[in-house]
Amino acid sequence: MKSEEAEARAREFIKQRHSRVERIFFKTMYKEENLWVLHGEVKFRRAFFFVANRSFEFRINMDTGEVVLYEENPLPQLKAK
């Protein structure tokens, strides 16, 4: 599996998980043993006015294309002055 295929698999997985995805941004991508490791951020709508920003980590098996690990964490909200 090439890096482009791993990125496409990650995008597909996120879009299945969140129906209103606005942006997917990949920060880093590297190989670790027989896994692709991807770190990034996703922005999606929760309701009409509410948007959620989260960071994520993927681990995708290079041989099978299976998502081995997916972790998602909320990003800190910036407070208006």
For the chain, what are the domain ranges? Answer: 3-74
Report the pLDDT value the prediction gives residue 51, as an integer from 0 to 100.
Answer: 86
Task: State residue 7 phi and psi, 5-degree precision.
Answer: -65, -45
Report the pLDDT value the prediction gives residue 79, as an integer from 0 to 100.
Answer: 65
Q: Does domain 3-74 have CATH number 1.10.3720.10?
A: no
- Tokens in use for 24? 């997917």
Going by C-alpha positions, the residue among 76, 74, 73, 71 that lies closest to residue 13 is 71
> Are 10 and 27 contacting, i.e. CB atoms less than 8 angstroms apart?
no
Q: What 8-state DSSP symbol labels residue 31?
A: E
Report the pLDDT value the prediction gives residue 1, as an integer from 0 to 100.
Answer: 85
Q: Average pLDDT of 62-66?
A: 91
Report the pLDDT value the prediction gives residue 78, as an integer from 0 to 100.
Answer: 67
Does an H or E element contain 12, and which? helix 3-17
Report the pLDDT value the prediction gives residue 48, as an integer from 0 to 100.
Answer: 79
Per-residue model confidence as pLDDT tens digits over 6-61: 999 999 999 999 889 999 999 999 999 999 999 999 999 887 778 889 999 999 99
- Tokens in use for 74? 């909320």
